[in-house]
Each structure stands twice: as C-alpha cells, then as structure tokens.
Amino acid sequence: MVKPRTRTTKPTLAKRGDQNGRATHAAHAAPGNGAVPVTSAASVAHPLDPLTPDEMAQAAACCRDRHRSPQLRFVSIALREPAKADVTAHVPGAAVTRRAFAVAIDRADGTVFEAVVDLTANRIDSWSTVPGAQPSPTFDEYGDADRVIRSDRRWRAALRRRGLTDLDNVQIDPWPAGNFGDPNEQGRRILRGIAYVRDERASNGYARPIEGVVAVVDLNERRVIELIDEGDTPVPAADIRYDAAAQPALRDDLRPLEIHQPEGVSFTLAGHLLRWQRWQMRVSHHPREGLVIHALGYEDGGRLRSISHRMSLSEMVVPYGDPSPGQYFKNAFDSGEIGLGRLTSSLTLGCDCLGEIVYLDGWACDPFGQPQRIANAICVHEEDFNLLWRHHDGHSESTEVRRSRRLVVSSWATVGNYDYGFFWYFYEDGSIEHEIKLTGIIQTMAVKDGETPPTADLVARNLAGPIHQHFFCVRMDLDIDGAANTVSEVETRPLPAGPENPYDNAFEAVVTPIRSEAESGRSVHSPTARHWRIANPARTNAVGQAVAYALFPGETADMMAGEASSVAKRAAFARKQLWVTREAPDELYAAGAYPSQTTGGDGIPSFISGNRLLEQQDVVLWYVIGTSHIVRPEDFPVTPVHRSGFALRPWGFFDTNPALDVAPPVAGCACAPGECVHGH
C-alpha cells in the first residue's frame, strides 16, 4: 500500500508557468510579468510558518542527544503550533519563538516517544513515552516488511502452489493491521502484506492479485508471525494496463487549450502568506495532514475579518465491505495510520496544474530525521468559473454580467493504489468550497470463473472490486468575525395548515442551537435541506442579524459497517456528518493521535465526553464527507475522478452582496450597442 521513497534535499524556488504551460522561476521573472514574490525557505516571518529544513534537522539532533539509541527512528517532525492568543498577539517583524513536535520510535524495543523541542533555545522542552501507541510505520519499516515477507519460506511456498516461481515479479503492498481481537497480535507492532503479480516494471499489479495469501509481520521482531493461505483461486491472467504506451491508439482530435494571463496572476505569495482579491490566508504543508489553511480572513470595509484559524484534513478511513480472508482487514486510516502528508505528490505543470501556477514545496523527515523535500507539493492558481452574478432588465433592456473567478489552493497524495486531491476554492463573493477528488486504482480481488461475490462487482475476467466507502473528516477551527461563535442546525419545515396558513403553502426555517457537545453528532437530512450556521452573536449586520457563515453538505453517505464492527468503533467520527467541540490545541485528530491497532474510543468520542458548553465559545467543526463506491467496469484499470465536498457560504456576514464591486468583463461587453458605460 505504501512504498518507501527518497527525495533530494536541494532547495528550490516555487515555480509558475507562462501562457504555454512552460515553467519559469518566479524569482527570475521580470517585474510586471506576473511574478510572485517568494521568500527563501530559510526565513521565518510568522509563528505559523512550517518548520524549515534546518529547524527539522535541529529538532532531530536534539532528540538524538536526548535518546542515544542507534535504533531511534522518526515518524514525523512538524511545527508545534503556538496558542491562538500568541498568534493573534504577534507583531510583524518581532522575534518568533519556534518549537517542533517530534514523534519517534526506538526500534530496539518499540517504545514510542513524543518530544517538544524549543528550537530558539536549542533544548528539549518535554520528552515522554506513549505506552501502547503505534504511530505510522517509518519508510524503513515498510522496507523491512517487504524483505521479511519475501524471505519467509511459508509465503514462498504459498506462491509456488499458485504456479508463481519468479518472485522478483511479485509486488507486495503493506496494509495497516487494524484490531480484530486476535490475541497473537496484541501488544505487537504489525502490518499485513498482500501481493500482486507484475509481468514487468510498467505492469498494473492490481490486475493480478494473489488472492487468499496474507502475511502478518511483526515490525519490531522483523518476522512473519502468521501466514494466511486460504483458497485456491487462480491469479488472473491478463495484465490490464492504463499507461499511454499500452493503448492501441490515442485520440488526436483535440486542439490546444491554453490559459493565458498576459499580465500575470492576481494574487501575491510572500513566504506562506497568500493574498487574493479580498482574501488573506496562510498556506502550508504538514507531514501528517498535508495541506493546511491558517488565519483565513476576508477584507471588508478596510478591516480584515476572521473566518477560520485553521482548516485541514483531520482523518480519513476507507472501510471495505468484503469479509473474505484477503479483504476483511482493509480499513485504512490514511492520515493517522500512514501519514498522508508525507505521501504528498510532486505536481507537474501542464499535467496536474494548467495555466499560470505558483507552487509551494513541502517538507517531511526521513526515518533518521533528515529533511526530505516534496517539490511542488501545493499548487496555487486562478480559474475562470463561469458566472458570478447576472441579470437582464427587461424594462431598460440592459444586462449586467460578472464573471466568477476563483482562487484554487490544492495538493495531491498517493496512498498505494488510490490518489486523492484536496482542493480549497475561494470566491469573490466570500464563499468557500472544499472538494476532494478521488482517482487512481481500485482495490481488487481474484475470483473464479462464473463467480461474483455479493460484496464485489466484476471489472474484468476473474477480477472483481470489493464495494467500499471513503470517509474524510475535515477539521475547521472557525472564528466568524471573532472566536466566540454559536453553531445552529437549520431546517426547512412546513407550517401546519390553519388560520395562519389558510392555503397550506407556508414553511419556515427552524434554527436550533447546538448547545453542548452532547448534542453534537448531527446527520445530513436532505428532505429538510438541513445545514448548519456558525454565527457570532456579538457582531451584527445592517439588518440586526448575527454575522454568520453556513455549512452546506455535498455528497455524503452513512457508514455501512455495523456498530459492533472494529472499524465503526475505531472510526466513530464517520457515524455522523457533523461534530462540534470546544477548541483545544491538542484535539486535532478525529480518530485520535494514534489510531493504528486501537480498539476505539479515541478522538471524537473522547473529545465530546466532557460535554462542554458550546454557545458563544471558540468552537471547532468536524465535517465528514462520505462516498460509497460500488465499483463498475469503467473504474478499471484506472478510475475516472470522483468529486465530493461541501460549501461554506456567508450568511449575513456581509451587509449586501460583497461582489458588487467586481468589474464587468472586458470582452463581449453586455452593454447596449453605442451605450457602453465602461469605455469599451
């Protein structure tokens, strides 16, 4: 599922593209050519700036000095974010106290450590063990798992029984183990290894799964502790490839489509501070969460009004619905069990991103604490998005049209077979959308001729894709014009027929505050158009309403696994679409800090157990995007992009439409002939 990889640590500048999609260094572009200023990677201008490579290496050195073991390995090293009050009080140009948070494991005995390193003072602030925790495997542990599986005589014999003799052509995917009550696995640090056949380097291994063979590896002991070898399903014969070289012919009837901004982009990026139109935010990369948006605000009337302190993917889980020996355990928590951020993809101009692009690099550490650069980890660009608003006045025979342009901040991560894109869209009217794009390759299972399991669907001969779901929990620390907010559930309901509703046509919006965490855990309900409003009662708009934003659901799904299942207990956050908690700096992850091999109860269930009051408080929203994937032949050998997400829209946050001042389009002016008021 996860493959080790090595990256260079050579510094880089963010890049942008010209109108033909060619990359140019921003620092070398001529003034007025749309160049975007980018600070050097070594500079730290703000408390929320992510760790520089030097700071990451410094933190690792401090940890090694504290724990002098040659078997010490680093899972992650990231910024220890300061308290919100400290961020708010920061004065530009003032000294910044920097701290790092490191998670490490001693592979000699499996002890897990958490460290807070004061980088300013070059010392360890805190050092503690985390009994029972199983953090994400390090890349060298994945490599060890591959080696010990290949050297296990039982595994090699299982493959020989299936007619496989050239084991160099076998692809091994390591999977998180989960926790299904097996006493032999308790207290161990384990992975499950499944295998596929690749005829050559460019083959698609997922077309040829080796069904019923699962190796259970103890990462601390570096050995296979159990080999599951069940069934006699043959390996599918066909190598079904998706690469261009394998296609009989490619389409040749598309003409070039170029995105041209002759005066350059309309945003500025100084370090990690991004400004566009009325928007301002800080953009960074985290080794676990990936793309993070900090300090989001909208300028209104000369004042920067806060909307969110922090937004990111908190956790995700992909439960599979097939109970067979080679499938039942597939319930991957791609953030907490694997580390989504360190699997962020390097984006390519003209392929992943089109047009005038600015990139930000990301950084993660290798198992030895050395900084590893992820080039072009985050993409920033503008897109035309059809109409912003429009009206034709039949009395004056005039038409006013404004085109919509949006700012796009995005990144991609590849976790084994699946690729996930995370896209934040910001609009000129103050609206925000978050969209997650799913593509890549489905998980597959081999089936015999004439068989189709009820929990899977055929995608090719002797090949099926198990039905599964994807749940993404986005954590949003919203500060709507300040931190003291109240979240309410809003539903449209009909009024009873009677004297006050004589035509039986009246309906109203019912607004119900979520007063405490015990009332949290809300579900989407389409018949009543249920959504949620986040308001600041201390601030009102021109008509006396509390300023607010509203969260509108997109596609969603309920978890199909039963409440007694292992995944339902461990991913309790996915049982509902919305949770609300009081802000707490250490409550970041919906399934807990270390979801691997737990029995459940961490994360959201623990956070809400104190039943804290929520009205006019600093609150955090946890919104869960859910999709059910019943596979189809068109999903193989590679799946077309599927999109899911949600929207945040101003709801009385402004006194009027904030996009009235957007200029009319220049080309194709909508004014009557000879009467253009815009000078076109």
**What CA–CA distance (Å, rounded) separates 377 from 594?**
25
Task: Report the C-alpha gap between 491 and 531 in whole angstroms.
Answer: 7
Closest CA to 199 of 225, 249, 227, 235: 235
Q: Is 623 a catalytic residue?
A: no
Contacts of 416 (CB under 8 A, 6+ apart): 1, 2, 3, 173
Q: Which of 298, 418, 589, 623 is catalytic?
A: 418
Amino acid occupying residue 603 = G
218, 322, 334, 479: the active-site residue? 334
28 Cβ contact list (under 8 Å, min separation 6): none
Please identify which residue in the block is written with the tokens 């296990």: 152
- Secondary structure (H, E, C), 606-655: HHHHHCCECCCECEEEEEEEEEEECCCHHHCCCEEEEEEEEEEEECCCCC
Token pair, residue 317, equals: 């889980």
Radius of gyration of the chain (CA): 27
Q: Which amino acid is at 377?
A: A
Which tokens belong to 75?
């899972």
The rounded distance, in Å, linking the Cα atoms of 214 and 216 is 7
| H or E stretch covering 217 | strand 213-218
Sign of the four-CA dihedral 638, 641, 642, 648: positive
Secondary structure string (H, E, C) spanning 162-215: CCCCCHHHEEEEEEECCCCCCCCCCCCCEEEEEEEECCCCCCCHHHCECCCEEE
468-478/486-494 β-pairing: unpaired
Report the C-alpha gap between 522 and 525 in whole angstroms. Answer: 9
Read off the amino acid at residue 371: P
Q: Specify the length of the chain in residues.
A: 680
Token digits of residue 157: 């014999």
Question: What's the farthest any 2 CA atoms get from each other in the chain?
Answer: 86
**Nearest-10 Cα torsion for 582, 585, 590, 594:** -150
**C-alpha span between 171 and 177 (Å, rounded):** 18
- DSSP output for 490-529: EEEEEPPSBTTBTTS--EEEEEEE--BGGG--B---GGGT
Angle of helix 153-161 relative to helix 139-151, nearest 10 degrees, comes to 60
Is residue 348 a contact partner of residue 121, using CB atoms and an 8 Å limit?
A: no
Residue with tokens 């994937």: 629
Q: Would you tell me how many other CB atoms lie within 10 Å of the CB of residue 451?
A: 12
Amino acid at 15: K
According to DSSP, the β-strands at 358-365 and 463-466 are unpaired
Joined tokens for residue 315 = 């956790």
- For residue 61, the surrounding DSSP H or E stretch is helix 53-66
Residue 601 exposed, middle or buried by CB count within 10 Å (0-12, 13-18, 19+): middle
334 is catalytic: yes
* Three-class secondary structure of residue 63 per DSSP: helix
b/e code 654-680 from CB counts within 10 Å (16+ = b): beeebbeebebbeeebbeeeeeeeeee
Active-site positions? 334, 418
